[in-house]
Structure 1
């Protein structure tokens, strides 16, 4: 024990030696740590990675910015190649007002707010005072926007503002779709919406051709990667990696812009004046099946989405809606009876009524026409006559007729969500009322397809809205005339056309209202009760579907026109007269296009010249040279849009509305027709309320005032 105590005492008496040993220990420990650090540093320098992370790549990722190269969505064009839906960007303007935002002493914020407000007021539908209010917010903020007035700006407006070189003024852009004609076969052309699930495809088609050919129209984004500094500026000599974007393809439609615009004007006029639930119109090339014009009301403007408010229908009435067509079906039942050899044109029948099972069926006028031959059943639109006709055909021939004409089957038109329709022949009463178009559900495309067999000597062709599609890789698919059946012979078709002529030309025909002097037209009118979802039919004459199927020239039909008017609730004007306000001018124009069957002198129409991108002076001079009237909207000096579109036919002295690149202002519309004001509404996308009849005599917004979000009321008055 004593020995151990002595050793501790010996150690305590040599503190210097202990410190020396501890110092040596620390030296070697530090040396080992330094050596380890040097080795680790050397390893990192040579290998270039830490914890499986490559340092160069990691550094590059910290300072690299990957910018998407936006692919252009392909265009939809009319039969002449004129764009009716095309890629565009809209822009939102914003102002940086934080005075700390500078670079190298340069002010990057709005330094002169008064000047900025004065300049922006020339391009935005806002007053200087309102812009100043935005630039002087109550709370401190880095940047401000200008409300709805500062959104959805065009590229031309952005460039003009940028040319003013206003410090602190910037723009954000977003993919958009330009529909230059506004309301223009909207349900057929379709609509795009922002795609929230796929950033590489910012827009996706949700309706019409936009949806049907979305894969061909949608492009694929590219990208560009480069190193930037903390402020987002590209570093000097930075390497740039680029993958080009692949733009979308092109869809060439069958639509004729001139006819489509004219049809839209006619439909809009009816919609404004009468209180119908819906009205539709289609023009088809009888030989090829091409849809030249197609419209419906209610409708919407794809540029502004006006008309697609909550609760509005997104359905294309022409292909997605099924309905009971009424007496137009008599055309095809007559054709089936003639083809089957059961039609007896010279045999007389009592048209006062016919009993089927326990049901007595009367004619549409409730009393009939007395004893008449079956040859008058179609012109008079006798329901009783057609009950007899389908009974004489027999169930097998009736079923064959419906099948051969394509009813209960999709036509295959290249539009989404096409309905099938259907019928049931198991009941004697149902078979009887099908003779005059009740208890059978069809689509408008099925009616048009079946009508081609009558027009083409028995050859039935498929309806088409597209002639050619080019995909993003350049592959071309052509949609040519397609024969889908031969339900009747040429002799049968000729006989049916003669009966349809009598509908218009005979004094007892139901279509005498639609007669055009000097024109050879074959037609069939239709009136159908509308089915009640709860069973049976809706009561009253206002709950009916009125229609007209017309072919011209009847000797060799080139055009088929089909019009429908549903639930003419106002009943201030007979439905046939309402439809005639569409049919008469439309068919007159069609006949003018057909060589040798001119209903309107060709000298009265001229081709509208292209004015877009021209100076205001040059555009006005070009229109005056064509004897057209130029009306200017806006304060700019360059034309950005026009209606009617370039290349379309217009009557001499017709008004061409020109939209300039300046602030959108209200023109003086005194003396304008309703169709001219509707052009103004389509072109500007603003809300207009039309009152009265005749020509414009007053307007609620003074000429030269900015067109805002409010409704402009234009009053019309007849002149003696």
Structure 2
């Protein structure tokens, strides 16, 4: 029993052997760790990865600088090659206040002289010196930097360079790609908008322009280019390594788009539309001028509208109402009913009927004057715009035949004119009464462009042309051009039918009982059709009542014998209907159609019209002299000596009674608006960004903020108008 115990005691008394065992075990652990380290190191060297991270890329990023070469977005041009929308760069200003922001040798990179900064910036921003000083002295002393809101953003290169010349410490700029719309209000909803969209990757932040409405949106992929990249090898201090070359992949610019719009006619249309909008205040106002031979849109506009250069007026109204709103067109639809009846051989012009009212399918239809004109031939139904007469025409033609012609004219189908947000329209055609009222434009919903497409068949010998606003696309890199050729979409009626409808439309203008006498233009024969459409109640309970609760319209074709132009105008619910609807619409129709016809005849050389010169960036004295040469009245807004904004914008047509407003650097001041029209006061509000309440009608007689008062200090401004 003692031998084993002695053996254990011997083991404990042999420390050398224990140390050898422990040393061997420890050596084994060290070798294992070493082999593991060698294996791990070899893996990292071979694979370039550690902990799921690419070490090669990380090391490269430390010694390689990569910058984006931004591609230029394509330019949108009018028919003559004048830019409508083009790329530019704007700048936003900010000031660094943190005193820890220093450079090499502790160079101060923050604002050191706040008084000087405030003085200089007040000369170029629409902020006074006191407001800027408050921004430079924030309540939180730990604020790193401050910005200046909208007043300090969207600055032009001219303003940026002027501020930089003052050598202000701690004042910096950020650069943002922007879209320049030099014409201001110019088919704004049709052209659309492109805004900067910022994307961030692991190494870079890039801002690119993206179309968000109108043609800028539908043609975004065409207009958008592909960014390039420039890579440079650098040392730990950020300098390019010697004997290395920058690697560059060039940017590919977007393609340029040319439209069919004629700037001369488009600008004139905008002026006429604004005048009617200001005077009569309709809920909506639309107009389109088209060449029916090609379908090319020469001018198009809508109200409400907005200025894409300033964003003024945009609000929440983003719809292009020329394609995005479906409405009941009213009596202008009778042109298509008459065409269908003639073309199908069902028109009996010498048949007589009792006008005034007729009951069909349990519904009583009245003529627009309620009493009618007694017993008259169907040939008078069109120039008199008799609803009862067209119910008889539809009944004679038959519901199936009439519906087939509506489909032939491509109603209830999109025109695919490239304008954004287009709807198809609809028809209510189940009951006999529904079928009857479509003959005079109720119970069917159409778009402006569908109507224009249909009108082209009447004006173009029965050949219906797709509305076209894009003429060609050009790739500036290759010079390759893709042309958009005129496209005939249907032949709904015969040539002889079209001629008969045109003759009937002449009667509307020139017969003493016709409804279109207001649209006569001396020296030209005009074929017209007027319309007054009821508006459905929002709750679906019948139609609205009241003298102004209609969609008033006119379509005209000229010259009537062989139309080169079709002009269609609609006006919804004028709030101040102080004149008959035909006289209101004539204020747009007659001058625009005459100008188009005069251009075609080459008789406009003697016309005199003033255009707004570009005075932005000029001194006040130079700008005033330039405007005086154009016989324009200059109104200065601001205490500075340099023009930073102007209204109207450069190249806009100026009517004789318009004022030219120039906003200067320095504090914004209120001008004396005595004698100003409502339109002028609205321009002042748009230019300054201030809310101005207008009371009364006529011309300005009172203003709540005195002339030369600071606009920035005024919470609200009221201008009172009075009739002379």
- TM tier relative to shorter chain: 0.7 to 0.9
Partner residue of 1:413? 417
* CA distance in structure 2 between the partners assigned to 1:549 and 1:687 by the alignment: 37
C-alpha contact (below 8 Å) 1:643/1:657 kept by paired residues: yes
* CA distance in structure 1 between the partners assigned to 2:362 and 2:37 by the alignment: 108
Partner residue of 2:434? 430
- Please, which of 302, 323, 326 is the counterpart of residue 319 of structure 1? 323
Partner residue of 1:255? 261
* CA distance in structure 1 between the partners assigned to 2:12 and 2:221 by the alignment: 94
Q: Which secondary structure state, in structure 2, belongs to the residue aligned with residue 454 of structure 1?
A: helix
Q: Which secondary structure state, in structure 2, belongs to the residue aligned with residue 318 of structure 1?
A: helix
Q: Deviation digits for residues 639-698 of structure 1, max 9, x if unmatched? A: 87673643x666678655566788776666665555555566666666555555555556
Partner residue of 1:177? 179
C-alpha contact (below 8 Å) 2:464/2:489 kept by paired residues: yes
* CA distance in structure 2 between the partners assigned to 1:608 and 1:147 by the alignment: 29
Quick one: structure 1 residues 484 and 677, their matched pair in 2 at CA, closer, same or farther if it must change by over 3 Å? farther
Q: Deviation digits for residues 511-542 of structure 1, max 9, x if unmatched? A: 23333444422211111112235435223134
C-alpha contact (below 8 Å) 2:128/2:666 kept by paired residues: no
Q: Deviation digits for residues 134-173 of structure 1, max 9, x if unmatched? A: 2222322222222342233233222221221111111223
Instruction: Say yes or no: does 1:506 pair with 2:520.
Output: no
Q: Which secondary structure state, in structure 1, belongs to the residue aligned with residue 130 of structure 2?
A: helix
Partner residue of 1:564? 570
TM-superposed deviation, 1:118: 1.0
* CA distance in structure 1 between the partners assigned to 2:556 and 2:426 by the alignment: 24
Q: Which secondary structure state, in structure 2, belongs to the residue aligned with residue 379 of structure 1?
A: helix
Q: Which secondary structure state, in structure 2, belongs to the residue aligned with residue 271 of structure 1?
A: helix
TM-superposed deviation, 1:174: 3.0
C-alpha contact (below 8 Å) 2:699/2:722 kept by paired residues: yes
Q: Bigger shift: 515-524 or 567-576? A: 567-576
Q: Deviation digits for residues 279-332 of structure 1, max 9, x if unmatched? A: 2222223333222222222233334544444xx343221101111111001111
Structure 1 length-normalised TM: 0.85
Q: Deviation digits for residues 555-592 of structure 1, max 9, x if unmatched? A: 33222221112233555544333333333443343343
Q: Deviation digits for residues 85-133 of structure 1, max 9, x if unmatched? A: 2223333221112222222232111111111111111112222222222
* CA distance in structure 2 between the partners assigned to 1:422 and 1:37 by the alignment: 76
* CA distance in structure 1 between the partners assigned to 2:93 and 2:230 by the alignment: 25
TM-superposed deviation, 1:389: 1.5
Quick one: structure 1 residues 122 and 610, their matched pair in 2 at CA, closer, same or farther if it must change by over 3 Å? closer
Q: Bigger shift: 369-378 or 637-646? A: 637-646
TM-superposed deviation, 1:447: 0.9
* CA distance in structure 2 between the partners assigned to 1:589 and 1:420 by the alignment: 33
Partner residue of 1:165? 167
Instruction: Say yes or no: does 1:223 pair with 2:251.
Output: no
Instruction: Say yes or no: does 1:447 pair with 2:447.
Output: no
C-alpha contact (below 8 Å) 2:320/2:420 kept by paired residues: no
Partner residue of 1:392? 396
* CA distance in structure 2 between the partners assigned to 1:113 and 1:229 by the alignment: 37
Quick one: structure 1 residues 250 and 642, their matched pair in 2 at CA, closer, same or farther if it must change by over 3 Å? farther
Structure 2 length-normalised TM: 0.84
* CA distance in structure 2 between the partners assigned to 1:31 and 1:481 by the alignment: 85
* CA distance in structure 2 between the partners assigned to 1:665 and 1:227 by the alignment: 53
Q: Deviation digits for residues 451-510 of structure 1, max 9, x if unmatched? A: 112222322221111111235765432122222233233333232222222222222222
Partner residue of 1:470? 474
C-alpha contact (below 8 Å) 2:127/2:668 kept by paired residues: no
Q: Deviation digits for residues 242-281 of structure 1, max 9, x if unmatched? A: 3333222222222233333333333333333435322222
Q: Which secondary structure state, in structure 2, belongs to the residue aligned with residue 327 of structure 1?
A: helix
Instruction: Say yes or no: does 1:156 pair with 2:158.
Output: yes
Q: Deviation digits for residues 195-242 of structure 1, max 9, x if unmatched? A: 477876743322210111010112222333446678x85456476443
Partner residue of 1:484? 489
* CA distance in structure 2 between the partners assigned to 1:324 and 1:307 by the alignment: 27
Q: Which secondary structure state, in structure 2, belongs to the residue aligned with residue 319 of structure 1?
A: helix
Instruction: Say yes or no: does 1:110 pair with 2:116.
Output: no
RMSD (Å), alpha carbons? 4.2
Q: Which secondary structure state, in structure 1, belongs to the residue aligned with residue 253 of structure 2?
A: coil
C-alpha contact (below 8 Å) 1:125/1:706 kept by paired residues: no
- Structure 1 gaps, min length 5: none
Q: Bigger shift: 209-218 or 312-321? A: 312-321
* CA distance in structure 2 between the partners assigned to 1:565 and 1:348 by the alignment: 33
Q: Bigger shift: 376-385 or 256-265? A: 256-265
Alignment of 1:590-669 (within 5 A): 590-595=596-601, 602-605=606-609, 635=640, 637=642, 643=648, 645-646=650-651
Quick one: structure 1 residues 660 and 404, their matched pair in 2 at CA, closer, same or farther if it must change by over 3 Å? farther
Quick one: structure 1 residues 637 and 145, their matched pair in 2 at CA, closer, same or farther if it must change by over 3 Å? closer
Alignment of 1:537-552 (within 5 A): 537-541=542-546, 542-552=548-558
* CA distance in structure 2 between the partners assigned to 1:82 and 1:706 by the alignment: 38
* CA distance in structure 1 between the partners assigned to 2:447 and 2:543 by the alignment: 20
* CA distance in structure 2 between the partners assigned to 1:106 and 1:510 by the alignment: 80
TM-superposed deviation, 1:335: 1.6
